[in-house]
Amino acid sequence: MSRTRHLLLLAAIAAPLGACASSAYRDDAYGTEPLVREFPVTDTAYVEPKGSLRTTGALSYARAGGEEFVDLVAGGEYGLARRFQVELEVPIRLDPSAGIDALRFGGLYGILTDRDELVLSGGLFVDLPVDGGKVAFTPFFAAARWFDPVEVHASLGLTATEDDADAVWSLAAATSLDRVRPTLELFGVGGAASVAPGVLVRVSDRADLGFGIPIGITGRAADWGVVAKLNVAW
């Protein structure tokens, strides 16, 4: 399958998924629906409402050091309690060699939930290798603040294995132009840092389709790439 077809695949399923989840959506922890639930590349500080399931699918192309990579990440977040959600992510390498390296499990707890003042959450991700490799733990904190008309998100964590550790961080912002929401993301792991301008399109009351263009700004980051992400609340 060509790179163009990979990127079109996610867009092609946006309409039917959005139609299946078109009813009004209200957040029982934050009072109203936040401006951004999922950025095209990075996550946010928001916890899913109790009993709510959000599914995501992200298709990405990256070019690094003359090599090309195509990946698909499928995931879900479920609100177990008013301020606590569990998560599962399955990253799948499509090209150059297909396979699944690890499964990612996690949890996120909402510490502060006043969207007009400060949203603060703490969480933990655990990456379990499928075939060899090392288990990795990523404790982190994430925050969000509304500065009308811009919503700003930030996160800071540490990914650690038995013999290595790298800081992980992100800083992202978005504003609203009705159903179109321009975004800008900065993010990094260890010595690799990237910037990603992008856009979110509100497909329905419960579904967003996001596009981002990550561009490496340090030597260890990928040169550039394209990400398409669909997220739907059920």
Averaged pLDDT, 59-88:
95
CB 212 within 8 A of CB 39: yes
The token duo for 75 is 């995931």
In the prediction, which pLDDT does 18 show? 39
Please say if the pLDDT value at position 134 is more than 60.
yes
In the prediction, which pLDDT does 8 show? 41
Cβ neighbours of 158 (radius 10 Å): 13
Please name the fold of domain 3-233.
Answer: Porin (2.40.160)
CA distances from 156 to 40, 58, 74, 134, 167 (A): 18, 22, 23, 22, 7
Please say if the pLDDT value at position 121 is more than 50.
yes
pLDDT band, residue 17 (cuts 50/70/90): very low
How far apart are the C-alpha atoms of 82 and 118, rounded to whole Å? Answer: 17
Please say if the pLDDT value at position 19 is more than 50.
no
**Nearest one of 193, 173, 191 to 183, comparing CA atoms:** 173
pLDDT band, residue 28 (cuts 50/70/90): low
pLDDT, tens digit, for every residue of 186-201?
Answer: 999 988 999 999 999 9
In the prediction, which pLDDT does 135 show? 96
Of residues 34 and 24, the one with the higher pLDDT is 34
Percent of the chain with pLDDT over 70: 86
How far apart are the C-alpha atoms of 9 and 94, rounded to whole Å? Answer: 13
In the prediction, which pLDDT does 112 show? 94
How does DSSP assign the chain, residue by residue? --HHHHHHHHHHTHHHHHHHT-S----TTTSS--S-SS-SSS--SPPPPBT-EEEEEEEEEEEETTEEEEEEEEEEEEEEETTEEEEEEEEEEEESS-B--EEEEEEEEEEEEETTTEEEEEEEEEEEESSSS--EEEEEEEEEEEETTEEEEEEEEEEE-SS-EEEEEEEEEEE-BTTEEEEEEEEEETTEEEEEEEEEEE-SSSEEEEEE--EE-STTS-SEEEEEEEEEE-
pLDDT, tens digit, for every residue of 84-102?
Answer: 999 999 999 998 887 898 9
Please say if the pLDDT value at position 23 is more than 70.
no
Averaged pLDDT, 154-182:
95
Domain boundaries, the chain: 3-233
In the prediction, which pLDDT does 30 show? 63
pLDDT band, residue 34 (cuts 50/70/90): confident
Please say if the pLDDT value at position 9 is more than 60.
no
Q: What angle do CA 152, 72, 189 make, to 5 degrees?
A: 50
